[in-house]
Amino acid sequence: MKGIILHQSKYGATKKYVDWLIDTTRYHCLETKKAAILAIVQYDVIILAGGIYASGIAGLSFLKKNIDNLKGKQIAVFCVGASPFDEDAFKQICEHNFKDSLQGIPCFYGRGAWNESAMTLRDRTLCKMLQKAVAKKEPSTYEPWEKALMCAVGQSCDWTDKAYLRPLFNWIKAES
């Protein structure tokens, strides 16, 4: 089976997972921004890997736009966020991102990284605003991602771990 990993990563954690995936699968990879559907339809397996920003999975718009041309392909998504895996939070992310034509696409999760000093001014400002808003809440009511956001204030953290790829590797094995 010919496979490709489309990816969209702002700060590198998603790309790190993509590199680990390539080491094992030998699939090709391409940034979603550079992907042309005519080239992508040549592949049997298409994996989209994208960071999570404000609950949205980066790069998903490529699948949304081209889903009709990808009928019959094995498609999966690997998303990368700041919080440790939490079943309810992950369910919410899936419900938020996989609507209409994207419903039913298998989605997997990996924990990413956090480095405020590497963020764009816009992202850093947004995160500071979020941190201020979350700080007003009672800590026991924090959502998992809010908890991670508050723990990571002013820090540089890398939570990437190859183990997060195991369920996706199992899916790849089952599909090929």
Residues making contact with ligand FMN (CB under 6 A): 9-14, 51-55, 80-83, 112-114, 119, 123, 126-127, 145
Query: Given the complex with ligand FMN, which of 156 and 176 has the nearer CB atom?
Result: 156
| Residue number with the smallest Cβ distance to ligand FMN | 112
Shortest separation between residue 159's beta carbon and ligand FMN, angstroms: 8
| CB closer to ligand FMN, 74 vs 82 | 82
Shortest Å, Cβ 72 to ligand FMN: 29
Burial 97-130 (b: 16+ CB within 10 A, else e): bbeeebeebbbbbbbbbbebeebeeeeeeebeee
What does the CA dihedral 88, 78, 124, 120 come to, rounded to 10 degrees? Answer: -170
State in angstroms the smallest separation of the CB of 129 from ligand FMN.
Answer: 10
3-state secondary structure of 66: helix
Residue 101, Ramachandran bin (φ over 0: left; ψ between -120 and 50: alpha; else beta): alpha
Minimum distance from CB of 156 to ligand FMN (Å)? 11
